[in-house]
Structure 1
Amino acid sequence: MPKVLIFTLAAAGYDWLYKKNIQSHKAYIAKHAYSYSVVNRPRLTTLGLELVWLKIYLMREALKSNYDWLVCLDADTEIRPSCPAIESLEKQGKSIYLAKGYSDRINSGVLILRNDNNSRAFINNIIQNQLKPLAPEDDVGWGENGHVIHFAKNNPYVEIIDKRWNNNSDCEMKDFIRHYSAGPMRAKHTPPLVGKSAWLMLHLLMAIFNRIPGLRDNKEEIRSSLEKLTTETLKYHRNLLTPLHY
């Protein structure tokens, strides 16, 4: 049986906001006997939206493990009961499995990788070029998605998979993974009242804190902070490096 890790970045209170979605992940994990981690640290951060880069750094480390497949899901994704096994996607000669979103560009909210040299090169290339500007057609203004779009282009090991694996555009679709990201699907998600209230309070506090001059102004400091966060996160989520369920 293939060793599969699924993890979700739900830091800064997003595990409160998307509690139901995370429960759907856990149900899918139990069904297929995969390994799973909900990365809900840090609660407070000065990185703002750039915190999403942490999932790429964690993927880099997870690719050093002996998992066969590695999957990163955004916290605002819901795995539907009809979702097939991850390994059913396998296609000869392909290592990186991505779907396009409502903008018809690759959406990195569902990132599925075979654990091989092709995937490692892809992730390392993204991190190494993190500080470099992107062409306008690839840039999304913040976070890692633009870099995923850019470096997936013309990559022979990338397979563009059916939108059912990352549906953020069609409420009527019989999808496998529903993604309540920016776009048509966002309004369809109803967070729990307590979770939303806690999330709003936390983000109000961070908004005040991040007004301090100098925070997040230096891109190299952002990169350094992400490296430190990666090291700290791995202390609490050991199964990102070692399969614990096999």
Structure 2
Amino acid sequence: MAVLLCVATGDYLHDWQDCIQSHRTYCAAHGYDYRLIDRPLSELHPKWQKFEVAREILRGGDDVLLIDADALISTAAPPFLQVLEADPCCDIFCVLGRSQRPNSGVIMLRGSAPSVACEFLTDCLAARELPLPAEDFVTALGENGHFIHFLKKPPYAGKLKLIDGAWNNTVPPPLPTDFVTHFAGGPMRKFRRRRLSAPAAG
């Protein structure tokens, strides 16, 4: 089974309902299971809880599309399993963000053995309180820096596939060719405000 996982608590759950609905629409179109975590399941920050929950799903053998609440999926987005099937030797799939480093807002993870994806998340979680080199640091509370850091290490570096930017566009402007438009902080947010304020067609 394929699972789309999103963790959205507090203000994120309220503020990004349009994006969350796009997740549901995508899953319904492709027969995927949608799991929205809308309340704390542990003492971890929600940014880390998504790794914790994804790891449990991977342990069950399911493939996972891990997506942030502020990421809008286009109705034109193809099944993410096609990406996994195209590169059977890779287990972790992502896009480079604005900083030209891997962005953890949209991640595809292979669940079936002998995938290293579960082990990768375990290593990230175990090191979450450890300092990172300056070149990997993103935010103090978030998981993206550890995501970047551990993707450089074996065996994960050899199991990483950088995929088309259409799967996680964090660089303005949003494009009609985007599969996922990710309104991750900074300049992308103004385009989301513009989108919500636009008059309805017709």
- Shorter-chain TM-score bucket reads 0.7 to 0.9
Structure 1's 138 and 149: CA in aligned 2 closer, same or farther, altered over 3 A?
Answer: same
Match of 1:100 in 2: 96
User: C-alpha separation between the residues in 2 aligned to 1:156 and 1:46?
Assistant: 32
2:189 pairs with 1:186? yes
Match of 1:28 in 2: 26
2:88 corresponds to which letter in structure 1? Q
Match of 2:55 in 1: 60
Q: Name the stretch that deviates more: 17-26 or 183-192.
A: 183-192
2:170 pairs with 1:175? no
Sequence identity percentage: 33
2:54 corresponds to which letter in structure 1? M
Decide whether the 8 Å contact of 1:11 with 1:41 is kept in 2: yes
Decide whether the 8 Å contact of 1:17 with 1:192 is kept in 2: no
User: C-alpha separation between the residues in 2 aligned to 1:10 and 1:141?
Assistant: 18
Match of 2:121 in 1: 123
Structure 1's 186 and 149: CA in aligned 2 closer, same or farther, altered over 3 A?
Answer: same
Structure 2 SS opposite 1:36: strand
State the Cα distance separating 1:51 from its structure 2 match: 2.8
Number of matched pairs: 187
Within 5 A, what are the aligned runs for 1:157-176?
157-173=159-175, 174-176=177-179
Match of 1:5 in 2: 3
TM-score by length of structure 2 reads: 0.86
State the Cα distance separating 1:170 from its structure 2 match: 3.0
- Per-residue Cα deviation, 1:86-109 (whole angstroms, up to 9, x for no partner): 111120310000111111111100
Structure 1's 164 and 192: CA in aligned 2 closer, same or farther, altered over 3 A?
Answer: closer
Based on CA coordinates, which of the two structures has the bigger radius of gyration?
Answer: 1
Decide whether the 8 Å contact of 2:167 with 2:179 is kept in 1: yes
Structure 1's 131 and 172: CA in aligned 2 closer, same or farther, altered over 3 A?
Answer: closer
Q: CA RMSD in A?
A: 2.1
State the Cα distance separating 1:46 from its structure 2 match: 8.4
Q: Which residue of the other structure, out of 83, 89, 100, is the alignment partner of 2:83?
A: 89
Decide whether the 8 Å contact of 1:13 with 1:40 is kept in 2: no
- Per-residue Cα deviation, 1:3-27 (whole angstroms, up to 9, x for no partner): 2100111112312100111111111
User: C-alpha separation between the residues in 2 aligned to 1:172 and 1:7?
Assistant: 23
Match of 1:141 in 2: 139
Structure 1's 27 and 181: CA in aligned 2 closer, same or farther, altered over 3 A?
Answer: same
1:149 corresponds to which letter in structure 2? I
Structure 2 SS opposite 1:112: strand
Structure 1's 18 and 92: CA in aligned 2 closer, same or farther, altered over 3 A?
Answer: same
State the Cα distance separating 1:183 from its structure 2 match: 2.8
Structure 2 SS opposite 1:5: strand
- Per-residue Cα deviation, 1:198-243 (whole angstroms, up to 9, x for no partner): xxxxxxxxxxxxxxxxxxxxxxxxxxxxxxxxxxxxxxxxxxxxxx
State the Cα distance separating 1:171 from its structure 2 match: 1.7
Match of 2:68 in 1: 74
Structure 1 SS opposite 2:9: coil
Structure 2 SS opposite 1:189: helix
Structure 1's 74 and 160: CA in aligned 2 closer, same or farther, altered over 3 A?
Answer: same
User: C-alpha separation between the residues in 2 aligned to 1:60 and 1:101?
Assistant: 23
Match of 1:207 in 2: none
